[in-house]
Structure 1
Amino acid sequence: MIRKARAVWNGTGRAGTGHLFTESGVLAETPYSYKTRFEAEAGTNPEELIAAAHAGCFTMALAFRLQAAGYVATELSTEAAVTLEPEGQGFRVSRSDLSLRAQVPNLDEALFARLAGDAERNCPVSKVLNSIITLDARLI
């Protein structure tokens, strides 16, 4: 399986602008720029997209683990907070903090913690990130 996305950039790093496109069409001419990345201008940025990818990947991985264990979640809600920090002349994604709130009928805390931890360690996006990953998982 191969998934594709494309970025088009015009101008300098600070004053230029770009657009993102995905093969599925979900992102089509989606703006990104210095201001969408480091200020509050409308648009997206790479770190927001990494956060969405990590939250989505982890949550789906957990749903599969729950299913294999005989459980069906009423709801799994995950927020990923990705941190971008200066490093040398550039920046690096230093961490991704996952916060999960889960409603899973009849699931005990110990099994929940084990399944959530396994999903965090083994979802493909966790594996590709070269950063600290934390997980705050709670049954509600």
Structure 2
Amino acid sequence: MITRTASARYEGFGKDGKGHVSSQSGVLSDTNYGFNTRFEDGAGTNPEELIAAAHAACFTMALSFALAREGFSGGTLETKAAVKLDKDGDGFSITRSDLTLSASVPGIDADKFAEIAAGAKANCPVSKLLKAEITLTYTLSE
């Protein structure tokens, strides 16, 4: 089993709060996030952008490996993921992730490519996560 970690800290609450997110690799290191980066054009990141990056990267890698298993090589894959955040009652819901792929795979039949791409979409670990059980453990201090 491989475990990767990230952490977030939020100081203050609501619109006035300021957050920082960091990742195990250090690619994100106290990167700003908050209301202004999620709902406005503030400098920093937001959860939807991070999910989109993860989904695009995961799907593209899964497709790359699936194509290699089928004997294809030497092509390119470029994927954009657009994660949608919609109003949901008093809150919000992430309602979808739209993957847009531009691919160059020499020698592949269109039907075979569609089959392999659909399998990668369904089976990449981030696609599975977006349907997975989520657990929470916590401690509370005053």
- TM-score, normalised via structure 2 length: 0.89
Q: What amino acid is the match of 2:90? A: Q
Partner of 1:37: 38
2:22 corresponds in structure 1 to 21
Q: CA deviation at 1:73?
A: 4.4
Cross-structure match for 1:136: none
**Runs ≥4 in structure 1, deviation > 3 angstroms?**
none
* Partner of residue 87, structure 1: 88
Asked whether the equivalents of residues 22 and 28 of structure 1 are also in contact (C-alpha less than 8 Å), the reply is yes
In 2, Cα distance between equivalents of 1:74 and 1:41: 37
Q: Any gaps of 5 or more consecutive residues in structure 1?
A: 131-140
One-letter amino acid of the counterpart of residue 43, structure 1: G
Q: Which has the higher contact order (CA 8 A, sep 6+)?
A: 1
User: For each residue in 1:48-99, what CA deviation from the matched residue of structure 2 results, as whole angstroms up to 9, or x when unmatched?
Assistant: 0000000000000000100000001421000000000111222111010000
Match of 1:138 in 2: none
Higher Cα Rg, which structure:
2
Q: Is there any run of 5+ residues in structure 2 with no aligned partner, and where?
A: 132-142
Which residue matches 2:65? 64
Give the distance between the partners of 1:21 and 1:125, measured in 2 at CA: 19
Indicate the residue corresponding to 1:7 in structure 2. 8
Aligned position for 2:111: 110
Q: Which has the higher strand share?
A: 1
Partner amino acid, structure 2, of 1:77: E
Partner residue of 2:75? 74
**Whole-angstrom distance in 1 between the partners of 2:7 and 2:19:** 10
Q: Secondary structure at the match of 2:28?
A: coil
- Distance in structure 2 (CA, Å) of the matches to 1:112 and 1:72: 13
Question: 2 CA distance for matches of 1:13 and 1:23?
Answer: 26
SS in 1 for 2:116: helix
Residues matched between the structures, number = 130
